[in-house]
């Protein structure tokens, strides 16, 4: 062989594989997830979040039919990373005994969830900010598994906006007195991001600031030694107090559901709530502004993250996602400020995404109307990371999001593009309602409910059925009543009502495939695949024969016997069978998967803010954190 040809051959031999690897390098993921941010009350408007608009919405896309399936922090965050409904994780509450870090660990959630799955694919995984609410100065050492680097906020400093405290990878806690929480999270996030980029491996990076959650403080009464938690409105960064002083609650939206006068259609406990008067309305309006102001520092984090991505040439191969753990209401119906309810304000959250294969919407309006859920997030990320074949065996309830609608022509060819996309889902909650800021001390114990939400894509019709544990029912025609002001359960079209009840009976106890395709359970022959088809008169008898889902009692946690569906046994049996099949194929797919990482460096960037870190004092380390939460009924506004 002549020398030149030998050289070419040599270059090809070393050059081509390198090129091939570069071309197929798995994408990175950065997720910014806020705490308690609504999608319905205008908080993501470009004026309030300019960087979100500039860097994610405009060059990417917003999904406006995106929901959480349980509207409360830690259960929802668990659904998100686990790809499962709360009725399948059974992690249903924020705190012990039916939630909390101890239960989370004992359920083994972190033995099998997204960060671990991504590590198996060769990813580095990073986390900064709020994890679970009672991850604290006493249990920090038993850190969550699955993270290359996790720097997590700790109780009692978690919602202390100007004195946050953290543990990094289970090390001794530190606090940052006088430093603003979202800025500390931002500084730490940037250092992590630079570290992730320097490592040269694909990465997943979750950034979880606390805004716009209420500020909470623990206070021990020296006379009684009783410690209580107090809730205050969120606190903006010192430089943002003057912003948006002219912002008002969006009363003019199609919702029009602020300060609802006629609640005669609502369940008894809501009818009993007083209508807020002007002094309280002024107060709620200011809470609304404080939420927007506290979010502005999150918007600044977005800007800083993108500067690093742009400057390091990492932008093109990175998905950046923005969302929240649950929605939030201010002043809707008879409520003050809070979440945990089945209404749109609580279950809808912002979801914006940009990245490889997604066409720029170049718009400040949502351009994707597919129904998306938090349980879809893990399957979506795995699919985009090239592990779509490995979804089996993970017992996922979600399916990859409908972002194929915004394919710019380069979205992975194997990204699923189903003919019948899931247009219905259920949401659920167990436990009590309490207002965070207005109805001081007011608690409603029986706020356990399930809801079915339908978005008929073909006809653009929207429905919701809510089943409370008191077995009161609500039905809303959301096409004409987006504000959920007129409960038409009693007078609704019988066909609509029976189909919604049928869906509820399946979805309330769904697992895996029955969560995305309940029609297969209702119509085993496969002849019905959508809401529109199910509405046909010839199926009346199918639906008339279904026994409606029902709660036997109001319980603040999930017991199977208490939640009665005629489909439960059949769905559980099908899931067990699927599990055996999946375990076999999942193991084979995992074995054939090559590690994605190529190079690795150990450069670790240290955030500037670390010079302000102080050890947490001994008396705080000695606190009985469990006790702190025992007495959290006292709300001070
Ligand atoms: C869920 O957890 C609770 C304890 O918080 C337990 O009593 C219940 O039996 C569990 N339910 C299921 C369905 O596993
Ligand atoms: C409160 O705790 C302190 C220190 O442990 C103790 O000396 C005091 O007696 C306690 N007071 C009450 C009212 O229990
Ligand atoms: C949302 O906020 C923007 C900016 O302040 C304002 O112009 C717009 O009217 C608001 N939308 C609603 C529905 O209130
Ligand atoms: C991205 O970085 C390049 C070069 O580093 C710079 O010229 C450009 O202005 C940056 N883009 C934005 C939108 O900041
Ligand atoms: C809650 O439900 C239980 C029964 O499930 C009932 O005994 C109790 O009175 C209810 N409480 C309220 C405040 O509605
Ligand atoms: C729900 C409600 O209206 N709450 C408060 C409104 O303001 C008055 C006086 O400031 C309070 O007494 C109410 O509890």
3-state secondary structure at position 490: coil
pLDDT for 593: 46
- Tell me the sheet residues that pair with 464: 453, 476
What are 105's two structure tokens? 């660990």
pLDDT for 585: 60
Residue nearest to atom 3 of ligand 2 (CA): 225
Pocket lining: 468 vs ligand 1, CB cutoff 6 Å: no
Pocket lining: 312 vs ligand 4, CB cutoff 6 Å: no
Residue nearest to atom 10 of ligand 5 (CA): 446
pLDDT for 598: 47
What are 589's two structure tokens? 């797919």
pLDDT for 228: 77
The ligand 3 atom nearest the CA atom of 246: 5
Pocket lining: 310 vs ligand 4, CB cutoff 6 Å: yes
Give me ligand 4 centre to Cα 369, in Å: 32
pLDDT for 253: 62
Pocket lining: 276 vs ligand 6, CB cutoff 6 Å: yes
Residue nearest to atom 12 of ligand 1 (CA): 559
Pocket lining: 471 vs ligand 5, CB cutoff 6 Å: no
Q: What is the pLDDT of residues 177-202, one digit of tens each?
A: 999 999 999 999 999 999 999 999 99
Give me ligand 4 centre to Cα 503, in Å: 50
Give me ligand 2 centre to Cα 629, in Å: 19
- Global confidence as pTM: 0.94
pLDDT for 16: 42
pLDDT for 623: 85
User: What is the number of H-type helices and E-type strands within the chain?
Assistant: 19, 23
Give pLDDT < 70 ranges for the chain. Answer: 1-23, 252-255, 439-441, 582-601, 631-637
H helix intervals, 427-539 = 494-507, 513-516, 519-522, 531-534
Pocket lining: 274 vs ligand 6, CB cutoff 6 Å: yes
Conformation bin of residue 169: beta by default, left when phi > 0, alpha when psi is -120 to 50: left
Catalytic positions, written as ranges: 73
Residue nearest to atom 2 of ligand 2 (CA): 225
What are 454's two structure tokens? 């339908």
Give me ligand 4 centre to Cα 310, in Å: 6
Give the chain's end-to-end CA distance (angstroms, integer): 84
The pairing of strands 473-477 and 226-232 is unpaired
pLDDT for 578: 79
Pocket lining: 554 vs ligand 5, CB cutoff 6 Å: yes
The ligand 2 atom nearest the CA atom of 223: 13
Conformation bin of residue 441: beta by default, left when phi > 0, alpha when psi is -120 to 50: left
- The set of protein residues with a Cβ atom below 6 angstroms from ligand 2 is 224-225
């Amino acid at each position: 062989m002549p020398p030149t040809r030998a050289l070419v051959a040599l270059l090809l031999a070393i050059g081509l594989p390198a090129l091939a690897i570069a071309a197929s390098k798995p994408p990175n993921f950065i997720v910014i997830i806020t705490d308690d941010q609504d999608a319905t009350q205008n908080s993501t408007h470009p004026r309030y979040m300019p960087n979100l608009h500039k860097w994610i919405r405009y060059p990417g896309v917003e999904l406006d039919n995106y929901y959480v399936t349980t509207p409360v922090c830690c259960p929802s965050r668990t659904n998100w990373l686990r790809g499962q409904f709360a009725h399948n994780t059974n992690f249903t509450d924020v705190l012990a005994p039916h939630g909390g870090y101890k239960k989370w660990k004992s359920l083994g959630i972190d033995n099998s969830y997204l960060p671990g799955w991504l590590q198996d694919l060769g990813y580095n995984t990073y986390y900064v900010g709020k994890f679970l609410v009672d991850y604290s100065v006493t249990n920090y050492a038993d850190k969550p598994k699955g993270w290359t680097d996790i720097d997590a906020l700790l109780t009692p400093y978690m919602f202390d906006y100007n004195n946050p405290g953290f543990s990094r990878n289970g090390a001794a806690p530190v606090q940052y007195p006088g430093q603003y929480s979202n800025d500390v999270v931002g500084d730490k996030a940037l250092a992590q991001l630079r570290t992730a980029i320097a490592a040269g491996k694909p990465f997943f990076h979750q950034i979880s600031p606390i805004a716009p959650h209420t500020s909470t403080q623990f206070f021990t009464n020296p006379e009684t030694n009783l410690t209580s938690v107090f809730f205050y409105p969120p606190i903006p960064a010192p430089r943002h107090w003057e912003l948006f002083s002219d912002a008002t609650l969006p009363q003019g939206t199609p919702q029009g559901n602020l300060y609802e006068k006629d609640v005669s259609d609502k369940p008894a406990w809501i009818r009993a709530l007083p209508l807020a008067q002007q002094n309280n309305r002024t107060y709620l309006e200011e809470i609304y502004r404080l939420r927007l102001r506290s979010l502005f520092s999150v918007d600044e984090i977005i800007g800083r993250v993108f500067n690093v991505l742009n400057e390091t040439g990492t932008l093109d191969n990175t998905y950046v996602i923005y969302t929240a753990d649950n929605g939030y209401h201010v002043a809707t119906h008879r409520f003050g400020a809070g979440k945990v309810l089945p209404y749109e304000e609580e279950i809808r959250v912002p979801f914006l995404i940009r990245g490889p294969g997604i066409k720029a919407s170049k718009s400040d309006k949502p351009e994707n109307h597919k129904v998306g859920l938090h349980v879809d997030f893990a399957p979506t990320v795995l699919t985009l990371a090239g592990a779509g074949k490995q979804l089996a065996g993970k017992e996922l309830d979600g399916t990859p999001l409908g972002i194929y609608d915004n394919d710019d022509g380069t979205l992975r060819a194997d990204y699923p593009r189903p003919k019948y996309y899931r247009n219905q889902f259920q949401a659920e909650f167990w436990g009590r309602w309490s207002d965070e800021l207005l109805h001081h001390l007011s608690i409603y114990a029986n706020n356990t409910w399930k809801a079915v939400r339908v978005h008929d894509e073909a006809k653009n019709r929207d429905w919701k059925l809510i089943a409370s544990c008191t077995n009161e029912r609500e039905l809303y025609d959301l096409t004409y009543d987006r504000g959920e002001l007129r409960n038409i359960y009693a007078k609704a079209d019988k066909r609509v009502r029976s189909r919604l009840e049928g869906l509820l009976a399946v979805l309330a106890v769904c697992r895996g495939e029955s969560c995305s395709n309940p029609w297969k359970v209702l119509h085993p022959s496969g002849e019905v695949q959508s809401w529109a088809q199910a509405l046909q008169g010839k199926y009346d008898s199918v639906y008339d024969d279904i026994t409606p889902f029902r709660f036997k009692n109001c319980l603040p946690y999930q017991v199977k016997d208490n939640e009665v569906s005629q489909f439960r046994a059949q769905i559980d049996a099908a899931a067990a069978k699927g599990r055996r099949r999946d375990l076999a194929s999942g193991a084979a797919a995992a074995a054939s998967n090559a590690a994605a990482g190529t190079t690795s460096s150990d450069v670790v960037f240290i955030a500037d803010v670390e010079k302000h870190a102080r050890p947490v004092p001994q008396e705080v380390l000695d606190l009985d954190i469990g006790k702190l939460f025992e007495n959290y009924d006292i709300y001070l506004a």
